[in-house]
Structure 1
Amino acid sequence: MQFEDIPMGYQSPVTSSHSIFSPRDRFQYSRTDSRANLLNTPSTVWRSPRTPPPYSGVISSPRKWWHWRPTWFMYLSFLFGVACAIGHHVFYASLNGKPAVDQLAMLRYGTVISFAAKAGLVAAVVIAFKQRIWVTVRSKFLSLAVLDSLFAAAEDASALLNIEIYKQAKIAMLLAAFVWLTPILIILTSNTLTMELALSIENTTCSGIRTLNFTKDELEEWRNPTKSDNLYGLSMSIWNTTASDITSPDWFDYYTSPSNPLIRVATNAAFMGQAVSKSGINIDICSSGWNCTYTINFTAPAYKCSELASGVGSEVKTLENQKPPDGFSTKLLVPEGDYSYYAYASGGEYSTQQMKDTNPGGIPTMEPPFPEALGAFRTEPVIWIGYSVKTNPNEVAPLNRSMPGWSDAFIPKVIGCEHYETDYTVMFNLTSGQQVTKVTERKFQRRIIDTTWIQGTDANDGTNDNTTARPKSNYIYPRNVRQYRRVAAFHAIGSQLRGFLNGTMNSAQLNNPIGNTKADQTKLLNPRNDYFAFPTLADLVQELYEDMILSLFSNRQFLSVVWAAKSDVMSGTGAGDESTKYPCVRSRLENRYNYHSRDLWIVYSIAIFLAAAGVGSGTLAILENEGVLRSTRFSSIVAATRGPALEKLGWVGEDRGNLPRDIKNLKVGYGIVHRMSGLEVLQEDTQYPERRVWDGGDVHYGFGLEGDVQQRNEGS
């Protein structure tokens, strides 16, 4: 941007020399010589009263406010920088909390905006800096070395090493320091957008969720099995029949044993100590990369356990109407007895062989009519468990009863568990391919078979189980097909639990316990504590049974595994679709943008405040220059230094690339420059007797040595 070389529209008829001084400079200078014959013009000061030159100046009309003014660029640059800072905030705020997709691109965009903000603020301050330069050189004489550093301070870092410049041009150097420090703005603001691991949670639906519905076992006809995904549905039970002709009036099917798929699933659950899940269940239900939770409700069997005795010599209570087995008491358990674990879970068990005689084809040879109670479910075995816990489990117990402290080292306990039909509410949590289940609610509805087992009474019903139960009216008979099949399914599942619980653990010698039970393969007995049962055995028995039931989901061929959204449809092994979507909560850890708005605005606020102060300083400098925007372009420097005012200096030293040191230390200033010319001295000018006029008759403004230049002394 060029200087206003010929202010206010006036032009000298003698020369066309340019001036760097503003109209006010010239006007003020003309006022200092009150005895001179001055024209009423701010352009030229005439010293000779003899031949005042004529002027033919043309006064231009003042520009309207909407016309472009060079000074506006400083303010527009500042406003552009502020707008970019606001845009930076808006951009980062729009990304905050969203998944960090294309992170590199977003950071680059933010850096570009930050750079634009920095460029706008720096451009405004650079303009202000240049104005302060001219205010300084108009009011102070500075050495050439200081002038070199001052004019180069905003673009040459080595110029900042001149200590004297900080003493002579404090404000200008503060503005230059701002220019050099603003790259920090880009670094600090770019770091306000980070990527952090965050838990993304969404309430949605999942299409692969299943539940249990044992009605499917009630309705299944094993002679014509249900197929899904070209695979046969699996029952919980294996069946036998009284005749090959299903039209015979004496025909009916009756329960034989648990099915092999059920045995396999229950065994896996017992050994693993948790519910078994299907491989890849996370992807099937939650989709790839997601975890999910969901809650289902279903009706299934459960064992309800209660504590019946605790302590040496305590009497075992009855369980509902069930009396404990004969001879079952705490006397069997240490410290009085030899057992740390004693379980009786087969009283009243269903016989696997209802008819003794069969032909080679496996068909019963007993002639009809068949006994009324053939295949009937009379009772569900009650689980009776006696176990001992150590009084001080963290201390070493006596190894046998011959050692001191044996009688006080153990507490015998007895629990009893009955089989109930139960309403479950279960929460499934599928995380990182692992399934965690939690029964959040368990409502016991009714006993599977509401009878009481009568010990010591023989049954004459044609079966070999010799089980007697009352009342007989509550027996479940095979001809009551749906109820019978449902009870058969529950009985088959319960038999798997009872098979693991039954038996004993002889701990007469703690260092050599002898097990006669599968319970030591489950989570019920603690191998770190000499295979003593955990104190919370009653809860653990219920949990173990629930693990077996929930493990049914690992084999989707089971008839009773159905869609949670369509509980009347067997799910099979296939994936779900829109019709099987069921509420779930999906979650995953993902990189999300985290915008630190406070940090960004701290940085921008400081930068904007300093830039605003710089713009204010530049505004004052422009006002001191009567609204003229000055620059440091080549043409402007040439206009300020032309003429012979500095020619008397020896500019060339031994090293032609650098000024001699004595030249660098000379004081130079900017103002009205005078030259000794041979013309007379204006005797009437007593204020500036050293002043001489130029040959052309006009006053010249430029750089000159101290004593050759008249300045305005208004500070820096």
Structure 2
Amino acid sequence: MAATAITINPLLDTLGPQDGVEIVTKQSPTPQAREKDNVPSRTLLAEQADIKRTVGKIALLYALGFAVAVSHHCFNLNLDGRAPLSQSFTLQVGLVFAFLVRAFVAGATGTALLQIAWRRVKKRAFTLYGIDGIFTITKDLTPFFLLELWERATLICILSIGIWVMPLASIVPPSTLVIEPGVYETTSLCEVSSLNFGALPEYGSQRLGRLADDYYSADSRKGAYSAGPSTILRKLGTNVAVGGRILGMPSPCNTNCSYTVNFNGPALKCTDEDWKSQDAPWDPLEIFRFSHHYNSSVSSNGDLWTVYANPKKEERRYSESGVPLRPYLYIEAPERKEYYIKCFKCSLYNATYNVDIDFTNGVETVTYELSKVAKFIPIIPDLESSLPNYEQLAYFAYNHYFTGNEGPFVGEIFEYGGISMRGVRFNTDIIFTNLVTPWITLSQDFRNSTQNFPMDNLREGFEELSHNLTISLLSRSDLIVSSKIMTTCTSLSYRNVYRYRSTQLYVSYGPLMVFSMVVIVLGLRATLKNGDICQWGFSQIMLTTRNPSLDEMGKGSCFGVVHSGSDLQKHRLKFGELRCNVESTIRHAAFGLEDEVVDLSAERMYA
């Protein structure tokens, strides 16, 4: 069906009214004509290819950024703990990694943000300055001061702030691999001191060893003769008791090393006893006692009673007439609170010592643990035999060890009247040990003075003292029980190494990758809704059709500078379909005034 159109030619306005009107009759376009107006299918394919290329570009850039970030992590992880090459080398490599991560991720994020901006100018109208600001806000800070952008493109402003702070993510990563002093462990076999109480000496005129400093005679008429503990052992016992610690020993490796040694040795185990139930003082099977107040069914025997009640080193000798078999140690001490006499008995035990010795900068630290603790029950020595067996020798070694503890404990702590205390004895050896430490509180009235003793853990103190003495025997290499064994020593050395601060790398790259992913997701969503790609190249600007009304308002601005008197500054512009050629299947898309354009349709083709 034919259509009639009226065309008014403005050039004929000077003619008459009839002459200025031209009646034109046009036929409606046939299907064949419409087919000619259609854009070839290759144009659709080209646009789809552009979308795919842009999406692929975004994905590729993000994947490259992520891969470089992982490579930076692997590089640092590989050097962590190794000897440093050069601090400047690792810093330069870190700068390269950080630059590439930021460049790739920023490229993907910027491309995605451009699609979001393109979607916004299609949906809403902006002034010319607003449109310029949307597409330059990631390169220029000035658009942030445009209120129009914060009102009509808030999301773009917020995302652009993230684009601006992205370079901060490349500051910390180069310094995540630093050089610090490191500790290295090396293990090797080394010779260390140990104890062997079962060692058999050369029999005859040779002495048993420095542990006892006595000898065993081959004369069967005298049998096994013991002169008591040696001077060395007495000194060791005194030093341990007064110092309250294990005596030091030299390091077998260097100033920073550690090792473990295991051996069997004597130990005391103390239990509470009734102070009235002590054995008779003349029982030849007792090794010695320590107690001032003694209550027994056996009557006192003058000075001899005092000797046993307050033993002295030079009076404790054993001969063939009586060999002590039950090594007990009785100790009486006042309780802290009630101040009544308390007695406990310490017995000799055999135990396995597991000793850990550590040297740190030459300072020795010893920790130990006892296992397989068993009461020591020696075999009665054969006094008629000319050759003591292993058990006899071990027994005498234990015996001398035990009596070597006697010296520091000779003397009383208190003076008693009956079973009550009268005062402190400050002239006795035991006062100078670390087991008891008296203190006196004096007042102007001497009768109101008080005195106290911290003895709550005295029983445990005796047990620990015996352990310390046994381990301290390792400090002397001239004892018969001393031996050398090979064990594993762990040595520590200090040198500079690389240290990887992975947390700082995660904190730097993590937010960058998450923010970029958010922008990319929003950008892909905008791309799907746009139906096309925003590429601000010269060819796209050249091929974009002009709007006649904008041509009129943009006179004098052909070089891109908006004239100060131009109406372009007063109107909002929007990109959309121009309202012309309504009958054509190919529509015109361009920037125009709000009332000149409508939203683009994904089902139509635009020239």
Superposition deviation, residue 414 in structure 1: 2.7
Distance 1:659 1:133 in 2: 26
Distance 1:714 1:125 in 2: 27
2:374 paired residue number: 444
1:435 paired residue number: 365
1:45-79 residue CA offsets vs partner (Å, 9 max, x unmatched): xxxxxxxxxxxx99799689899945521222233
Check conservation: 2:291, 2:330, Cα contact below 8 A: no
Task: Please say if 1:275 is aligned against 2:246.
Answer: yes
Stretches of structure 1 lacking an aligned partner (at least 5 in a row): 1-32, 44-56, 226-233, 333-338, 355-372, 393-408, 451-472, 567-579, 675-684, 689-697
Q: How many residues align?
A: 535
1:538 paired residue number: 459
Superposition deviation, residue 616 in structure 1: 1.7
1:89-127 residue CA offsets vs partner (Å, 9 max, x unmatched): 7778x689x869869898997886676555444322311
CA shift in 2, pair 1:630/1:88, >3 Å = same
Distance 2:314 2:231 in 1: 23
1:367 paired residue number: none
CA shift in 2, pair 1:207/1:189, >3 Å = same
Distance 2:568 2:44 in 1: 46
Q: What TM-score do you get using the length of structure 2 for normalisation?
A: 0.65
SS in 1 for 2:351: strand
Distance 2:310 2:271 in 1: 14
1:18 paired residue number: none
2:195 paired residue number: 212
Higher mean C-alpha displacement, 633-642 vs 260-269: 633-642
2:126 paired residue number: 142
Q: Which residue of the other structure, out of 235, 254, 262, is the alignment partner of 2:210?
A: 235
SS in 1 for 2:405: helix
Check conservation: 2:284, 2:324, Cα contact below 8 A: no
Distance 2:563 2:162 in 1: 29
Query: % of aligned pairs identical?
Result: 16
CA shift in 2, pair 1:95/1:514, >3 Å = farther
Superposition deviation, residue 143 in structure 1: 1.2
CA shift in 2, pair 1:612/1:253, >3 Å = same
2:531 paired residue number: 624
1:505-552 residue CA offsets vs partner (Å, 9 max, x unmatched): 234698962234321222321334847472443332232122111101
Superposition deviation, residue 672 in structure 1: 7.8
1:632-657 residue CA offsets vs partner (Å, 9 max, x unmatched): 346655665999927745669xxx99
Q: Which residue of the other structure, out of 248, 251, 262, is the alignment partner of 1:296?
A: 262
CA shift in 2, pair 1:297/1:617, >3 Å = same
CA shift in 2, pair 1:195/1:597, >3 Å = same
Q: Which residue of the other structure, out of 339, 355, 374, is the alignment partner of 1:410?
A: 339
Distance 2:114 2:392 in 1: 101
1:667 paired residue number: 572
Q: Which residue of the other structure, out of 433, 445, 454, is the alignment partner of 1:522?
A: 433
Q: Residue type matched to 1:40 in 2?
A: K
Check conservation: 1:343, 1:502, Cα contact below 8 A: yes
Q: Which residue of the other structure, out of 381, 388, 410, is the alignment partner of 1:480?
A: 388
Check conservation: 1:520, 1:531, Cα contact below 8 A: no
Q: Residue type matched to 1:127 in 2?
A: T
Superposition deviation, residue 387 in structure 1: 1.9
Task: Please say if 1:610 is aligned against 2:528.
Answer: no
1:168 paired residue number: 152
Distance 1:711 1:67 in 2: 23
Distance 2:248 2:565 in 1: 90
Check conservation: 1:146, 1:164, Cα contact below 8 A: yes
1:202-250 residue CA offsets vs partner (Å, 9 max, x unmatched): 998864554311234634899799xxxxxxxx732334698xxx9x999
1:598-641 residue CA offsets vs partner (Å, 9 max, x unmatched): 989984784365134233234325x522xxx4323466556659
Q: Which residue of the other structure, out of 377, 402, 421, is the alignment partner of 1:494?
A: 402
Task: Please say if 1:40 is aligned against 2:23.
Answer: no
CA shift in 2, pair 1:439/1:76, >3 Å = closer
1:277-317 residue CA offsets vs partner (Å, 9 max, x unmatched): 325x4xx46x7656x5746231x33345443325xxx4545
1:309 paired residue number: 274
CA shift in 2, pair 1:224/1:511, >3 Å = closer
2:487 paired residue number: 581
Check conservation: 1:132, 1:618, Cα contact below 8 A: yes
Aligned pairs for 1:147-158 (under 5 A) are: 147-158=131-142
Distance 1:413 1:492 in 2: 27
Distance 1:381 1:303 in 2: 10
Q: RCO greater where, 1 or 2, for CA within 8 Å and sep 6 or more? A: 1
Aligned pairs for 1:543-558 (under 5 A) are: 543-558=464-479
Q: Residue type matched to 2:197 in 1?
A: F
Q: Residue type matched to 1:350 in 2?
A: R
Distance 2:562 2:582 in 1: 41
Structure in which a larger fraction of residues adopt helix: 2
Superposition deviation, residue 662 in structure 1: 7.5
CA shift in 2, pair 1:498/1:327, >3 Å = closer
Check conservation: 2:272, 2:344, Cα contact below 8 A: yes
Distance 1:217 1:169 in 2: 97
CA shift in 2, pair 1:535/1:581, >3 Å = same
1:141-188 residue CA offsets vs partner (Å, 9 max, x unmatched): 421221221111122233222221233345544543442354566689
CA shift in 2, pair 1:388/1:294, >3 Å = same
CA shift in 2, pair 1:161/1:196, >3 Å = farther
Task: Please say if 1:349 is aligned against 2:320.
Answer: no
Task: Please say if 1:561 is aligned against 2:472.
Answer: no
Superposition deviation, residue 84 in structure 1: 5.1
Superposition deviation, residue 83 in structure 1: 4.4
Distance 1:294 1:660 in 2: 94
CA shift in 2, pair 1:144/1:521, >3 Å = same
2:109 paired residue number: 125
Distance 1:209 1:658 in 2: 96
SS in 2 for 1:581: strand
Q: Residue type matched to 1:540 in 2?
A: G
Distance 1:646 1:343 in 2: 127
Check conservation: 1:237, 1:258, Cα contact below 8 A: yes
Check conservation: 1:206, 1:581, Cα contact below 8 A: yes
Distance 1:224 1:475 in 2: 18
1:533-583 residue CA offsets vs partner (Å, 9 max, x unmatched): 7244333223212211110122345443334xx4xxxxxxxxxxxxx2349
SS in 2 for 1:548: helix
Check conservation: 1:139, 1:712, Cα contact below 8 A: yes
